[in-house]
Amino acid sequence: MNILFVVNPVSGDIDKEDFTNIATKRCEEAGHAVHVFKTTGENDAEKIQEHTSETHPDRLLSLGGDGNFILCCTAVEGKQIPVGLIPMGSANGLATELGIPKNYLSALELFLDTNEIHHMDVICVNGDKYCAHLGDVGINAQIVKKYDQDQSRGMLTYAKYLNSALAESEPFSTKVTSGGETIFDGQVVMVGLGNCRQYGTGVYLTSEGNPFDGKFEIVLIHKMDLSEVIKKGLTIFDKGMAEDQNTKILKLSEAKLCFDKPRHLQLDGEPQGKFQELSLKLLKAHFPVITPSQNSFTA
């Protein structure tokens, strides 16, 4: 087998050099050819495409966080090259959802030994952006934007921005149309986009998310109470949100969102800027990914 490693050297504040060497040796001992590419944050997708054209890999292995994994998937889009993941990011929410082992060596053995390759759905946003895990507009997107700009990390930093975002939040007008019909028109404090269920912290946006079912969820949150958020341990969401009277969940394959003015959007933990309209389309079975046979979504 011919393998291309795509390594994000800075994700999760983890030094990946030693493990890259261990993984390379393990693969070569198993008779596989290995090529290594390290991302720099500049034109990485184009460079991965170039390496793929030069090395003709049978599989890609992402060493990094969820963002690096999604980068690999998009870089080889349409080529039907399966992508595996060693979860070495900060939160690794998508890896957790897909059942990828947290132990690096176990994840490597899964990548080498499994033939469990499943084609994962992805939400296409405005024709040129992808959401493979979770996204949102409103309170959490504001937190992500500020958190991304802060050099500090951890729960205290999150709490600082959560507190200010909740204090400053005001309901905004949101209209959802699908199939030419208006299915929601009202006030919300946040709109969630779910291809999966839970954030990397383990807290839920929706209990219905499944990246293999041909649908995505729009989660409309009408109200958030700071005291309740604090009781839940400074997390905005929990598994019972689907039954919360302040939440409405729509399960769709395409939709258009319109807001009263441009609003912050985040997709898979990355700030995307402000948008007043979002066109959403589910691309079914779009990315071939390597998962355990125990994967709860596809079992």
Sketch the domain layout of the chain as residue ranges: 2-113, 129-284
Closest CA to 98 of 195, 237, 205, 17: 195
Q: Which residue has the tokens 């975002």?
A: 165
What letters, b where the CB count within 10 A reaches 16 and e where it falls short, cover 9-42? ebbbebebeebbeebbeebeeeeeebbbbbbeee
Longest dimension (CA), the chain: 60
Q: What integer pLDDT is reported at residue 207 of this predicted model?
A: 84
Q: pLDDT 10s digit of each residue in the chain, 299 long?
A: 999 999 998 877 788 999 999 999 999 999 999 999 999 999 999 999 999 999 999 999 999 988 899 999 999 999 999 999 999 987 788 998 999 999 999 999 999 998 889 999 999 999 999 999 999 898 766 666 665 666 564 555 655 656 666 656 688 999 999 999 999 999 998 899 999 998 776 777 888 899 999 999 999 988 765 444 444 444 445 555 545 657 899 999 999 999 999 998 988 878 899 999 999 999 999 999 999 877 777 65
Q: What integer pLDDT is reported at residue 93 of this predicted model?
A: 86
Q: What integer pLDDT is reported at residue 144 of this predicted model?
A: 61
Closest CA to 199 of 228, 168, 162: 162
Rg (CA), the chain: 19
Q: What integer pLDDT is reported at residue 200 of this predicted model?
A: 74
For residue 62, list its beta bridge partners. 6, 85
Q: What integer pLDDT is reported at residue 229 of this predicted model?
A: 47
Question: What distance in Å separates the CA atoms of residue 272 and residue 281, rounded to the nearest whole number?
Answer: 17
CA distances from 171 to 34, 139, 222 (A): 52, 10, 7
What dotted CATH number matches 2-113?
Answer: 3.40.50.10330
Q: What integer pLDDT is reported at residue 179 of this predicted model?
A: 95
The enclosing H or E element of 13 equals none
Q: What integer pLDDT is reported at residue 295 of this predicted model?
A: 72
The CATH number of domain 129-284, selected from 3.40.309.10, 2.60.200.40, 4.10.490.10, 3.40.109.10:
2.60.200.40
Q: What integer pLDDT is reported at residue 36 of this predicted model?
A: 96
Give the burial class of 299: count Cβ atoms within 10 A of its Cβ; 0-12 exposed, 13-18 middle, 19 or more buried: exposed
pTM for the model: 0.85
Q: What integer pLDDT is reported at residue 249 of this predicted model?
A: 92
